[in-house]
A and B are shown apart, each in its own frame.
Chain A
Amino acid sequence: MQPAVEFRNISKAFGAVQANADVSFAIAKGSIHGVIGENGAGKSTLMSILYGYYNADSGQVLIDGQPQDIRTSQEAIALGIGMVHQHFMLVENMTVLDNVMLGNEGGFKLAAKRGAVEAKLREICDRYRLDVDPLATIHDLSVGAQQRVEILKQIYRSANILILDEPTAVLTAQETASLFEILRLFKEQGKTIILITHKLQEIMEITDEVTVMRAGRVVGAVKTAETSREELANMMVGRPIQSELPRAPYNPGEEVLKVSNLQLLDANGVALLSDIDFTLRAGEVVAIAGVSGNGQSELLEILSGMRLPTAGRVEFNGRALPYEGRTNADGLPAEFRELGIGHVPEDRLRDGVIKDFSVMQNTVFGYQDKVKNRWGLFDYKKIAQRCADLMTAFDVRPNNPDLRIGLLSGGNQQKVVIAREVAAKPKLMLVGQPTRGVDIGTIESIHTQLLRLRDEGVAILLSSVELEEVRALADRIIVMSGGRITGILPIDEFDTTRIGLLMGGMNKH
């Protein structure tokens, strides 16, 4: 049988970066095919070529054995290729039905076609057990349901080849399981699924075959049944990775942070955080697990002074943090830094760095008042020396302090941010998504740095959507769902199923 998709010698360069180099592999019809690789391995580029966003510099794409020159996504859709993006392409304030019809209206008058489309959507939902109401408005739907809308959209456009880009990044364990149910159903119906992910466990669970990419090339193509997580991980990284990082025995010191009855309402009075109570001691790592958007970001923002809580009290080293009597948080992060609270923000490019500043300028970001002389001017000699030291200590590459930080890879940007915050010798370190958008090699070095900080007696509160990361770093785990703490457990009670249930808001079982 002809493969559904075949890549032949695909190469694509962006400037100096060879995103895809001589990529060749085939995807069998009616199979679930995993494509794994680190960030920047070239998975997304390859899929974008298949979907017509980019044109390959050389090479061929064959669909059902026929060479195709896919230049736009419309052509890809016409060939039966559908893509579910990591970031949903949905209009939030429109209904499911309208989103499906968007770009596919079939005439000037909508009403005429609406009924027919709705009927067809209901039929598709039944057949694939998608459980989506076509008349619901998108922003009322959970993230998992929104993803199903994306899938629904593709099926409606009669996609036979479905590309899913990191589909589980935003899902709970339970939502992931139900997504996989749907995918298996697709497979039974003869559809082909391409699953892009970096989660090895999912690859093992659902795929038939796996293609491993590294640095733009295919470095392995195996049947899932004949491989193991370890083998795949080693292929991905190109060297064996340490699964357990060294850390001192758990011996927490004094209480550094005490959060009592913290509440946060948004402008419309909707509770973003409710009844948050926990403590954090010196020399321990407490990791907040949860699907993103369940209050973790807001909690870290409050603790770092970027946002004011609506009510509640936070004690840092026995003294209440100065939220009282303020109408806005303008300038508060500087005061918190002064007290000894470091913060690695979860959205690096939005909060953590100024993209257009050089690496050197970014190493004083947030500490700009510490490096001026008595004239209020920057002491560039001192800054340059400090920057050179940090870049060496944290192995920032390339080692060029004058480069705009926006030109560095995500991992190296993160190293700069962590280096900067560590250099200020905080007593409490807040870390949001320590390794988001960071490649595996760098993950290890960032984890090592954080654990060293813990061993030196710093209290660390981090939030991560990666359970693997939580397991690797935490001494205690806080699980959050819907702005509440649904469970606090020590690391030796780590259990994916239980945490998954807590993340889904089910704390009684």
Chain B
Amino acid sequence: MTKTELPRWATGFVLPILNLMSALLVAGLVIHLLGESPSESLRILVDSAILDPEGLGYTLFYASTFIFAGLAVSIAMQAGLFNIGAEGQMYVGGLGLTWAVLALDAHLPAILMIPLAMIGAAVFGALWAFIPGYLQAKRGSHVVVTTIMFNFIAASLMNFVIVKYLIPEGQQNPASRVFADSAALPLLNKLLPVFGDTPLNISFVLALLALVIYGVVVWRSSWGYQLRATGLNAHAAHYAGVKISRTIIVTMLVSGALAGLCAVNSVMGSTHYLSLNFPAGAGFVGIAIALMGRQHPVGIFLSSVLFGALIQGGFDLSLEKPNIPQETFIFIQGLIILFCGAMENFYAPAILKLLNATRTNKGI
């Protein structure tokens, strides 16, 4: 029997892996053109990002941020909203976190300070996403356009706030003061010494928890059902009694809160102060992760680890191979977005043909 659709194992695993391979193949070609050996570069990449425990620690540290970013973009995508603004929401989330910490870190113990700072990050991120969500729901202003603009506004706003209010007196570096110890996230190497001296901290555990909660809410709850219905067919969702505008606004709030939480790992887990441009593109990586992971918790996790590994491995690669610049990471990231996002179904017809051919050969 000939099939017209690919089975789930093919769309869920085979296609992403093929796409990833293609991206790496092109990357390898470029590395070859740069005069370095692709196979050796891949070995260095894998060694330093996955096999070396300390490198793995860094990989997972980056992945913790990316998981939140991926979730932020994914939940909006489930509702049919393309939130390009995770970067800005993360940035503003960092401001919420920092204000909470600067005001209270001298008075509160870590057990209160950390949750409070996280709430600050989530609330500020959510508020930054609220305006685009509201405009989409009530005025039909496209969320893609507004969130892009809000990224720019966030960048300027943060610039202003940091330079005007947060720089401690007498400092030149555009950053807030260093947080007290009560605002430092507990590191995982206390429990798992194998990770060595890495900033991997409890936000990785929180990220895993968030993945589980995301999965349950989206696929098991009535709200998630309404969310997906809105994303797949807003007409039908209206028929089913879903309050479309409210769903859009609430989804953007949740998406923004998740994006805001990205700031927790990078600010409280490693630098311990708010600096200019600290998101460093993590919000945009979230888009790639959501596309590549197909908004599925397992997919988001795997792609987050992949992107974490690319940063960590790419950094070491550029140290060892002077011909390969550090920006290679951005380049490979771009290739992955190209192959996994834009050309998502590039191999689908071929696989389908192959499947049908094997079926007929077996005489089924």
> A328 vs B245: C-alpha distance in the bound complex, in angstroms?
10
B242 within 8 A of A: yes
A104 to chain B, nearest CB (A): 34
A372, B222: Cβ atoms under 8 Å?
A: yes
B235, A378: Cβ atoms under 8 Å?
A: no
A207 within 8 A of B: no
Q: Is the interface of A mostly helix, strand, loop or mixed?
A: loop
Contact with A along B230-243 (1 / 0, CB 8 A): 00110111111111
Please give, as numbers and ranges, the residues of chain B lying within 8 Å of A426 by CB-CB distance: none
> A109 vs B352: C-alpha distance in the bound complex, in angstroms?
46
> A361 vs B216: C-alpha distance in the bound complex, in angstroms?
16
Sort chain B's interface into a size bin. Answer: 20 to 34
> A335 vs B245: C-alpha distance in the bound complex, in angstroms?
16
Q: Is the interface of B mostly helix, strand, loop or mixed?
A: helix
B165 within 8 A of A: no
Please give, as numbers and ranges, the residues of chain B lying within 8 Å of A335 by CB-CB distance: 241
Please give, as numbers and ranges, the residues of chain A lying within 8 Å of B220 by CB-CB distance: 377-378, 380
Stretch of A29-37, A286-294, A343-351, A437-445 lying at the B interface: A343-351
Stretch of B1-9, B47-55, B308-316 lying at the A interface: B1-9
A182 to chain B, nearest CB (A): 37
Please give, as numbers and ranges, the residues of chain A lying within 8 Å of B228 by CB-CB distance: 354, 357
Contact with B along A293-312 (1 / 0, CB 8 A): 00000000000111000000
Stretch of A257-265, A362-370, A480-488 lying at the B interface: A362-370
Find residues 204-223 in chain B having any chain A CB closer than 8 Å to their own CB: 216, 220-223
Please give, as numbers and ranges, the residues of chain B lying within 8 Å of A306 by CB-CB distance: 238-239
- Smallest Cβ-Cβ distance to B220: which chain A residue: A377
B222, A368: Cβ atoms under 8 Å?
A: yes
State which of A333, A354, A380 has its C-beta within 8 Å of the C-beta of B241: A333
B147 within 8 A of A: no
- Smallest Cβ-Cβ distance to A301: which chain B residue: B239
B333 within 8 A of A: no
> A371 vs B226: C-alpha distance in the bound complex, in angstroms?
13
Please give, as numbers and ranges, the residues of chain A lying within 8 Å of B246 by CB-CB distance: 330-331
A376, B221: Cβ atoms under 8 Å?
A: yes
A339 to chain B, nearest CB (A): 12
- Smallest Cβ-Cβ distance to A356: which chain B residue: B232
State which of B223, B243, B245 has its C-beta within 8 Å of the C-beta of A376: B223
A14, B229: Cβ atoms under 8 Å?
A: no
A489 within 8 A of B: no
B27 within 8 A of A: no
A344 to chain B, nearest CB (A): 10
Once A330-B243, A331-B242, A365-B229 are accepted as A-B contacts, the answer to whether A350 and B2 lie under 8 Å apart by CB is no
A365, B221: Cβ atoms under 8 Å?
A: no
State which of A328, A366, A372 has its C-beta within 8 Å of the C-beta of B239: A366
State which of B1, B2, B225, B238 has its C-beta within 8 Å of the C-beta of A333: B238
Find residues 221-271 in chain B having any chain A CB closer than 8 Å to their own CB: 221-223, 225-226, 228-229, 232-233, 235-246
B34 to chain A, nearest CB (A): 44
A378, B221: Cβ atoms under 8 Å?
A: yes
Please give, as numbers and ranges, the residues of chain B lying within 8 Å of A157 by CB-CB distance: none
The 9 closest A-B pairs by CB, nearest first: A334-B241, A331-B243, A366-B240, A351-B239, A333-B241, A15-B4, A372-B222, A377-B220, A368-B222
The residues of B with any CB-CB pair to A shorter than 8 Å are: 1-4, 216, 220-223, 225-226, 228-229, 232-233, 235-246
19 contacts between A and B (CB under 8 A): A13-B2, A329-B238, A330-B245, A331-B242, A332-B241, A333-B238, A333-B241, A350-B233, A350-B235, A354-B237, A357-B228, A357-B229, A365-B229, A368-B222, A368-B226, A368-B229, A371-B222, A377-B222, A378-B220
| A330-B238, A334-B241, A378-B222 given; 14 more Cβ-contact pairs under 8 Å | A15-B1, A304-B239, A333-B241, A343-B239, A352-B236, A354-B228, A355-B232, A355-B233, A357-B229, A357-B232, A368-B226, A376-B222, A376-B223, A377-B221
